[in-house]
Amino acid sequence: MSLQTPLGRVLGKGSAGEGVGHWWLQRVTAIALIPLTVWFAIGLLGHSLQSYEAMRGWLGQPWVAVFTILLVITLSWHSRLGVQVVIEDYVHGKVAKNTLLLLFTFVHVVAAVAAIFAVLLLALS
């Protein structure tokens, strides 16, 4: 059953059906980030940041690496969704909007892959 009006259907207006998914994922990642960021902040500030050996020794541990990778994935996803909303709300030109959306998607993917690869290198080498 569709709640769209017949006119709306003919004109192709109305919901694209994806808004709830975006909204929901923003909340799911937000909830996951609560324990992940608290855990990471406590771990990070508990070590001497200037010491390469200390940071490497901490981030290279199996469970620390796993949860840091989970943090990176969740954080980049949440950030991507948020930046998308900001661009959609404030950039009005079609070309500028789509260019920025594409650009910031790529930036997030590059940063996430780099961060995950870095943690894997620390844990596996």
Partner 1 sequence: MNQRPLSPHLSVYKFTYTMSLSILHRLTGVAASVGFLVFAWWLMALASGPAAYAAAMRLLSTPVAKLLLAGFTFSIVYHFCNGIRHLVWDTGAGLERAQARRSGAAVIVITLLLTAFLVWAGCAALTRGAP
Interaction of residue 121 with partner 1, rule CB under 8 A: yes
Give Cα separations from 109 to 27, 34, 81 (angstroms): 20, 22, 12
User: 87 to 116, contacts with partner 1 by CB under 8 A?
Assistant: 89, 107, 111-112, 114-115
CA atoms within 13 A on the CB side of 15: 10
Residue with tokens 């594409």, as numbered in its chain: 102
The reply on whether position 22 binds partner 1 by CB under 8 A is: no
Structure tokens that stand for 47 in this block:
């070590």
Q: Which of 9, 56, 99, 102 binds partner 1 (CB under 8 A)?
A: 56
Among residues 30, 66, 96, 103, the one that binds partner 1 under rule CB under 8 A: 30
Measured in Å, how far apart are the chain's first and last C-alpha atoms?
A: 56
Residues found near partner 1 in the complex (CB under 8 A): 27, 30-31, 33-34, 37, 41, 44-52, 54-56, 59, 72, 75-76, 79, 82-83, 86, 89, 107, 111-112, 114-115, 117-119, 121-122
